[in-house]
Structure 1
Amino acid sequence: MEVTVALPEYGILVPKLESAGATVIVGEVCKIERTMLSVPGLFRIALSLVRAVFFLSKAQRKSSFNLVYSNTVAVFGGALCARLWRVPHIWHVREIFSGSKAITLGFRHLVAKLSSTVVCNSTHTRDWIYVTGDVEKYLVIWNGYDAPKVNVDRHAERVSLGASGHDVLFVLVGRINAWKGQQLLVEAFAKLVVGTDCRARLAIVGSAPVGQEQYERDLEACISKANCSDKVILIPYHPDIEHVWIAADVVVVPSTNPEPFGRVAIEAMGFGRPVIAAAHGGLVEIVVDGETGCLVTPCDVSALAAAMFRMMSDTDLRLRMGAAGRARQTALFSLEGYATQLN
């Protein structure tokens, strides 16, 4: 089997794909950005689509593709080319777009029209993208993950995140933006630690997208206003994220908008960490409330603080939930299971 991967730009994936035996081509693939989701943006999309057809058709003449797989709903070039070439097209939908209802409806119809099969990373994502037609071609396949074996000093990793041996370390990992819930978590955490002697620390790991650094400044202001700067640490993008999971006691995913899936949760579970998550989106398919962690009312500071207090106060509960989470992750969210379903 020969595999050609078309990417919009060079990056860290290129050598990894090439080492796996794929041919990598870089050029226009009609990648849709949020700034293009407007009426004026439709003209940019049309121009990008024309360029993508020329670029991909040139590659098709060399390799004669038998199937096209689009790994995100944000790329349209492969979908249109598959229709022009009359070959099957699999569209893997991993995200949910918010904004104009008319544009969202247009996305749904295009995906329905230009796909032989639609793979969705959660039931929530499927319910968002499905609009009409054959519901059986919309498949739900959860993402897979296998926790690697990492030999590091847990105590040293905890110290690097601001926690001592007796502290309960809460961790949030994710891009700093308007909906991942960092400020909500700070407010909940402040309810636990301000004016109390409880031994808890909070590490927020991640960076804002380029051009959106204001979210980082807003988060810093929120921490200062909450009077908990001495117990909260901000860590930029961390390339060795497994070290963070090893250091953590509890992982929190308080997204204020529904997550299409919630990969952070399955990674944390793979390392035996209990997860507190907002009860919406794909997270409700991952976290079993009261068994592998806690599901809390989205955007509810008090509910989040109560769940954190429960976790902080009961070491045995954290260990039981962590073990149950690891078992669930291994059984339902493994790479082997993911690959088997895709095949």
Structure 2
Amino acid sequence: MHIREIVMALRELGCDVQMQEAPGLDVLNSGEKQNQTKAGPGDRSVFARLFKYLSLRAPQLLFELAELSYNLWAYFPLSRKLKNGKVDLFYERYAFFSFIGTVLARQLGVPTMLEVNEVVGIERARGQVMLAVARHFERKIFQRADRILVVSSFLKQVLVQRGVSEEKIYVIPNAVRSDRLAKDEGSGKGIRQKLKLDDCTVIGFVGQIVRWDRLDLLIEDIADIPAVHLLVVGPCRFMEELQHTVEQLSMQHAVTFTGAVDREEVSAYIDAMDICVLPHSNPFGSPIVMFEYMAMRKPVLAVGVGPVTDIVVDGINGCIFAEGDRKEFRGKLKRLVEDQELCERIGNAGFEKVLVHHTWDRNAEQLLHIFKGLRDIS
């Protein structure tokens, strides 16, 4: 989604953007209707099915070898595009072991901009095996890039600690589409009726659920709050464990898991929520769902990790609790449940924050501004 949105935003600003993708994939045409767990229109080729199988089933070592081998395939189409003399900027979303783009761009004198969402050695949902090899390539790639865009201040600090020049690093968090801002307000009524949630305060979470989201603790934390219902939207590979937690606490009446929903329906589900939570998050990534919550004017209660506090100011455009402090989380959640005026105030402030600073249009404008400065220097 991030790749698709930034490309579309750049094109709307008048840029001629050419895509270089893995064979069989079509990011731009995978579309808003792509289900979060099922293959979209761009995922029907043999290559795409193979990639999907490798990503889900292959041992980590084999997966990383496949990532490394991608450089061999990408060399020829990339070199053809970069050698035609019409490329002003090579922009790449950084992926582990993917070095061929920056190598070719440097050789051919094409300015390089690298978007970095994670770095080697930081805990992630998918582990890593060939750490030394990945670090070697990462160091070379970061050295060759003319500018690096990171999604959080945490990542900037890490890169500086690893020897990357601070002057070439820019923090640009994730965003939402400007045409989706509050577009589906009111659409949640049908969801609430369908799920029989009209007579309670709905606490909501949306995402592709991984263990660090700590939904098991979230379920426990709402157990003592009367007249609330937890609505969890998104796929989860360990759903049976979460359902077991619900059963142990006798909370079947107070928790609903929807599983994966169509991408176009996500904003309606968010609209069905009264309070949106981010109970945990990794320290480096910029959670897109946080911006989606704010874009729907929902009060956000989120863990105080760097990518969140880059955006949310406690008590102003959201509420923050210290990582691991369940007492503070429960206290702030109870206050939001009881104080409708507070919810409306911080929900509106969050919306204004996103409207002004965190749309994909705005991100694309910043990208072009950085590129202009780079071109002026050269």
User: Same fold by TM-score, threshold 0.5 exceeded?
Assistant: yes
Q: CA RMSD in A?
A: 3.3
Pairing of 1:6-21 with structure 2 (within 5 A) = 6-8=20-22, 9-11=24-26, 13-14=28-29
Match of 2:227 among 196, 199, 205: 199
> Deviation at 1:155?
2.4
Number of aligned residues: 324
CA 1:301–1:133 in 2, change beyond 3 Å: closer, same or farther? closer
The CA deviation string for residues 257-277 of structure 1, in whole angstroms up to 9 with x for no partner, is 325112211211111111000
Q: SS in structure 2 opposite 1:191?
A: coil
Query: Which ranges in structure 2 are unaligned for 5 or more consecutive residues?
Result: 1-14, 33-41, 369-378
> Deviation at 1:36?
9.7
Q: Which moved more, 1:94-103 or 1:130-139?
A: 94-103
Pairing of 1:249-264 with structure 2 (within 5 A) = 249-264=274-289
* 2:72 is the alignment partner of 1:50: yes
* 2:184 is the alignment partner of 1:150: yes
* 2:218 is the alignment partner of 1:185: yes
> What is aligned with 2:36?
none
CA 1:4–1:317 in 2, change beyond 3 Å: closer, same or farther? same
Residue type at the aligned position of 2:69: L
Q: Which moved more, 1:83-92 or 1:245-254?
A: 83-92
CA 1:323–1:234 in 2, change beyond 3 Å: closer, same or farther? same
Contact 2:102–2:145 under 8 Å retained in 1: yes
Q: Which moved more, 1:314-323 or 1:142-151?
A: 142-151
> What is aligned with 2:163?
132
* Percent identical: 22
- Distance between the aligned counterparts of 1:118 and 1:35, measured in 2? 32
Q: SS in structure 1 opposite 2:211?
A: coil
> Deviation at 1:39?
7.5
Contact 1:190–1:227 under 8 Å retained in 2: no
Pairing of 1:54-93 with structure 2 (within 5 A) = 54-60=76-82, 65-74=87-96, 75-93=98-116
Match of 1:116 among 143, 146, 161: 146
CA 1:154–1:66 in 2, change beyond 3 Å: closer, same or farther? closer
Residue type at the aligned position of 1:120: V
CA 1:78–1:247 in 2, change beyond 3 Å: closer, same or farther? same
- Distance between the aligned counterparts of 1:34 and 1:125, measured in 2? 26
Residue type at the aligned position of 1:293: G
- Distance between the aligned counterparts of 1:204 and 1:113, measured in 2? 42
- Distance between the aligned counterparts of 1:153 and 1:34, measured in 2? 34
Residue type at the aligned position of 1:167: C
Contact 1:80–1:114 under 8 Å retained in 2: yes
TM-score w.r.t. length of structure 1: 0.82
Contact 2:234–2:259 under 8 Å retained in 1: yes
- Distance between the aligned counterparts of 1:43 and 1:154, measured in 2? 45
Pairing of 1:1-343 with structure 2 (within 5 A) = 2-8=16-22, 9-11=24-26, 13-14=28-29, 43-60=65-82, 65-74=87-96, 75-97=98-120, 98-99=122-123, 102=132, 105-106=135-136, 108-130=138-160, 131-145=162-176, 146=178, 147=181, 149-150=183-184, 152-164=186-198, 166-192=199-225, 198-208=226-236, 213=237, 215-238=238-261, 239=263, 240-343=265-368
Contact 1:73–1:91 under 8 Å retained in 2: no
> Deviation at 1:174?
0.8
Q: SS in structure 2 opposite 1:149?
A: coil
CA 1:11–1:160 in 2, change beyond 3 Å: closer, same or farther? farther
- Distance between the aligned counterparts of 2:303 and 2:59, measured in 1? 27
> Deviation at 1:296?
0.9
The CA deviation string for residues 72-106 of structure 1, in whole angstroms up to 9 with x for no partner, is 44454422332343311110112355257756744
> What is aligned with 1:20?
none
- Distance between the aligned counterparts of 2:148 and 2:59, measured in 1? 22
Point out which structure has higher relative CO (alpha carbons under 8 A, 6+ apart). Answer: 2
The CA deviation string for residues 199-250 of structure 1, in whole angstroms up to 9 with x for no partner, is 1111111113xxxx2x222222222222212111001222211102211111
Q: SS in structure 2 opposite 1:290?
A: coil
Contact 1:157–1:243 under 8 Å retained in 2: yes
CA 1:16–1:177 in 2, change beyond 3 Å: closer, same or farther? closer
TM-score w.r.t. length of structure 2: 0.75
- Distance between the aligned counterparts of 1:83 and 1:231, measured in 2? 57
CA 1:37–1:148 in 2, change beyond 3 Å: closer, same or farther? farther
Residue type at the aligned position of 1:128: V
